[in-house]
Structure formats: structure tokens, C-alpha cells
């Protein structure tokens, strides 16, 4: 096997931590001797053993001597004392000869110091193995650790003629099962899901993650005038699934009604009559919410793009046409005046999902 093959194994392991390690990174590690993987590990839960120490724990439990072996790890080993001791110390103590690293760690406490310490101890370090894949896996962590703000994804499913519902308002379903399963994985990937109150009124969604052993994201409703029905699916289940309703200046009795059901209500000054999204992101960042998946509707989609909070767009496109001049589209608001002002996507990727097509890319920041 090549270096990339071992790193691919480490990446697959890292992904098993999705939904459970936020706001820390997903990290995987394998230890290789004479072309054979002798131990492996990954970061399983926030605050638990880092990937490197999880692999060494397997060695220690099975009495495997890894002196002189190689380690492949998807993220630069840490060198600081946090919830866990430095991984660099464990790598040195276990006599690892060569370390292959995927991503560099932008955490200011690490940022190149991890690999420098290993080299100082005579360990051969190769960086950037499957770098693009490793970087993509932790794009949420990279933004959050460097800015303290959540990584924001704008997601929608539309027909080939750009509709998110028929003129009757009916929208189930636009894409097929494979694409919808993909969305549930994104709900696991993100710490919070956010919708506008219009979507709650139109669809009465649940916004949970239907993946086995998954976990539900925090559900956020932008609802300036507190129009969310108390008997909506989200409010009814807010004693079990964390729910945040963001409103403007609101009546404390009305706020109390939501709180009695289990919702948290955040009242903050609005911006031109709707939620101040930049201020909301700053609040969520302080609450350690590292990522937000915006799931509709068009008004919120436009406000999010216009306010500059969107990092990535994921558009699921179904090969069907609804038509209808009044049928809703994924991004509403006023829109841009001229094509040159369009929001552009870069680092694009296109994936086929059983007939539907996912187009995703990072929003180009000007």
C-alpha cells in the first residue's frame, strides 16, 4: 500500500467521529510496520482521547510494540495541554520513527509547533499527505478555531427549473431517498440547523437527524415576531431536542409560553425587521456552536448570503420540472441587480446521488 492508502484508512476512521466531537476536529490515526497496520484509533467523543493516543491505547492493551513504526494521522499532532495531554509526547515516548500528516493544525496553540517538536526529537515528518481530503473533512473546525464563528452552509433541494415547491406549496419530495439520506448526514455534520419561521408555517418540519446512533442538531428558528405555532412539531418536541427561537423585541408572556414547552428564546435587536444574522452567529460562536446548516426558506437564504455569513452552498438538484411562476425558489429577497454582482462558488464539487445531482462550493468572499 502507498502512503495515501494508509492516510485514506485514517480518514475513514476520523469520519466515525462525525457529530460527536464538535467543536473539536475529526481525527484518525493508523500505525504501520512492515506494510501492515498494527493499530489504529480515532477521536470518538469531545474531550476524549485524541486519535493518536487512541491508537497507542490499542497497542498498550494488546502489548504491541510500536518502536520504529510509522504513524499516519489526518491532523498535525497537538503539543499543548488541553482536555488531553500533548500527543507529541505520546508519539515520542512510543518510539515512532516517521509521522505522515494530512492537515496542518491552524489552532494557534499548535500551528506548526507539533511537527517542529517531532522533528526536534529526530522523527521524520512528512506533511500534506491527502491534504485536500483531510482539509475538507475539518473545514468546520478550521473556520471555528481561527475566527470563533460558526461555519455556515446554505443547503436546499430544487427542481431543474429552480423550484423548492409546487405552486400549491407541496414539496414532498423533490429529491430521492439517496439525496435525502445525504442531507441527514449533513445534519449530523453540523451542530445546528436554522430555518425561517415561514418554513415552519409552511412545512411544519421536525429538523431532526434520522441516522442510527446520530445526534440531533440544535434547531434554530429565526422568528422576529414569534409566529411559530405552539403546537408545531418543533415546539412540541423541544423538551427532547434542543431548540432556540430567535426573536426581536417580544412580549415576556409570549416568550414564557415557548419556554414552558422547553424552547430557549433569544430576544435580540432586529436588523431592518429581520434577525441580525451576523450578531446571531457571534452569539452562537460564544456558545461553542461551530456550524450551522441553513435549510430554508428563500427569505432566510437571501438574508444569509447578503449578510456575508455563508461559507458554503450545497444545492441538491432533481432532474424534474415543476413550473409555475408563483412556485417558490431557494433564494428570494431582492436579489442582485446585475450578473456581475452574483454570489460565486469556488472549489466546486459535483456528485451524483442516484439521479439527483449535488452541486457544492465555497462562497467566494470579496
Site for Zn ion in 53-82 (CB under 5 A): 78
* Ligand-binding site membership of 219 (annotated): no
43 binds Zn ion (CB under 5 A): no
Q: How far is the CB of 322 from ligand AOF (least distance, A)?
A: 44
Contact 345, 362 (CB under 8 A): yes
Number of residues that bind Zn ion (CB under 5 A): 3
| Residue 81 burial by Cβ neighbours in a 10 Å radius (0-12, 13-18, 19+) | exposed
Written as nine digits, the cell of 90 is: 505520546
User: Is 287 an active-site residue?
Assistant: no
Among candidate residues 15, 52, 127, 186, the one labeled active-site is 52
Which are the contacts of 339, defined by CB distance < 8 A and separation ≥ 6?
none
> 173: annotated binding-site residue?
yes
Judged by CB under 5 A, the chain residues 92 through 111 that form the site for Zn ion are: none
- Please give the residue ranges that form the binding site for ligand AOF (CB under 6 A): 21, 24-25, 27, 43, 50-51, 75, 78, 82-84, 87, 105, 107, 110, 145
Establish whether 87 is an annotated binding residue.
Answer: yes
Q: Is 203 annotated as a binding residue?
A: yes
- Is residue 98 within 8 Å of residue 70, measured between CB atoms? yes
Q: C-alpha cell of 157?
A: 433541494
Instruction: Between 41 and 198, name the residue whose CB sits nearer to ligand AOF.
Output: 41
Contacts of 99 (CB under 8 A, 6+ apart): 70, 71, 72, 73, 77, 91, 115, 118, 123, 124, 125, 126
297 is an annotated ligand-binding site residue: yes
For residues 113 and 190, which CB has a smaller minimum distance to ligand AOF in the complex? 113
Rounded Cα gap, residues 203 and 169, in angstroms:
9
C-alpha distances out from residue 345 to 119, 175, 242, 287, 365, Å = 38, 22, 32, 29, 9
Beta carbon nearer to ligand AOF, 78 or 123: 78
Q: Which residue is nearest to ligand AOF (CB)?
A: 82
298 is annotated as contributing to ligand binding: yes
The minimum distance between CB 78 and ligand AOF, in angstroms, equals 4
CB proximity list for 94: less than 8 A, separation 6 or greater: 56, 59, 66, 67
Q: Which residues, other chains included, contact 96 with Cβ-Cβ below 8 Å and sequence gap of 6+?
A: 31, 66, 69, 70, 71, 123
**What does 110 interact with, of ligand AOF, Zn ion, none (CB < 5 to 8 A by kind)?**
ligand AOF
Residue 129 beta carbon to Zn ion: minimum distance, rounded to whole angstroms: 18
Please check whether residue 317 is in contact with residue 364, taking contact to mean a CB–CB distance below 8 angstroms.
no
Catalytic residues: 52
Which residues are at the interface with Zn ion (CB under 5 A)? 50, 78, 87
**Which residues contribute to the annotated binding site?**
50, 78, 87, 157, 171, 173, 187, 199, 203, 207, 210, 224, 295, 297-303
**Which residues contribute to the annotated binding site for substrate?**
171, 187, 203, 207, 210, 295
Amino acid at each position: 500500500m502507498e502512503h495515501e492508502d494508509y492516510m485514506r484508512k485514517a480518514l475513514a476512521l476520523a469520519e466515525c467521529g462525525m457529530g460527536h466531537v464538535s467543536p473539536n476536529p475529526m481525527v484518525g490515526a493508523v500505525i504501520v510496520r512492515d506494510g501492515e497496520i498494527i493499530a489504529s484509533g480515532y477521536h470518538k467523543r469531545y474531550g476524549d482521547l485524541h486519535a493518536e493516543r487512541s491508537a497507542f491505547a490499542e497497542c498498550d492493551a494488546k502489548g504491541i510494540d510500536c518502536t520504529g513504526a510509522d504513524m499516519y494521522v489526518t491532523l498535525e499532532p497537538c503539543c499543548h495541554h488541553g482536555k488531553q495531554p500533548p500527543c507529541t509526547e505520546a508519539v515520542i515516548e512510543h518510539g515512532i520513527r516517521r509521522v505522515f500528516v494530512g492537515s496542518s493544525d491552524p489552532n494557534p496553540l499548535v500551528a506548526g509547533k507539533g511537527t517542529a517538536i517531532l522533528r526536534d526529537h529526530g522523527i521524520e515528518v512528512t506533511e500534506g499527505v491527502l491534504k485536500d481530503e483531510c482539509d475538507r473533512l475539518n473545514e468546520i473546525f478550521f473556520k471555528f478555531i481561527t475566527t470563533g464563528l460558526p461555519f455556515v452552509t446554505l443547503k436546499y433541494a430544487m427542481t431543474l427549473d429552480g423550484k423548492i415547491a409546487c405552486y400549491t406549496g407541496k414539496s414532498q419530495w423533490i429529491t430521492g431517498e439517496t439525496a435525502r439520506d445525504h442531507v441527514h448526514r449533513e445534519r449530523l455534520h453540523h451542530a445546528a440547523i436554522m430555518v425561517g419561521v415561514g418554513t415552519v408555517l409552511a412545512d411544519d418540519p421536525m429538523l431532526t437527524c434520522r441516522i442510527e446512533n446520530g445526534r440531533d442538531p440544535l434547531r434554530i428558528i429565526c422568528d422576529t415576531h414569534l409566529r411559530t405555532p405552539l403546537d408545531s412539531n418543533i415546539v412540541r418536541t423541544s423538551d427532547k431536542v434542543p431548540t432556540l427561537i430567535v426573536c426581536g423585541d417580544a412580549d415576556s408572556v409570549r416568550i414564557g409560553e415557548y419556554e414552558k414547552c422547553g424552547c430557549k428564546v433569544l430576544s435580540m435587536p432586529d436588523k431592518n425587521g429581520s434577525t441580525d444574522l451576523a450578531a446571531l452567529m457571534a452569539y452562537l460562536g460564544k456558545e461553542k456552536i461551530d456550524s450551522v446548516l441553513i435549510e430554508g426558506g428563500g427569505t432566510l437564504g437571501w438574508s444569509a448570503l447578503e449578510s456575508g455569513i455563508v461559507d458554503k452552498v450545497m444545492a441538491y438538484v432533481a432532474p424534474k420540472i415543476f413550473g409555475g411562476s408563483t412556485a417558490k425558489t431557494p433564494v428570494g429577497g431582492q436579489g442582485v441587480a446585475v450578473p456581475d454582482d452574483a454570489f460565486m462558488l469556488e472549489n466546486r464539487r459535483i456528485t451524483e446521488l442516484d439521479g439527483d445531482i449535488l452541486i457544492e462550493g465555497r462562497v467566494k468572499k470579496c
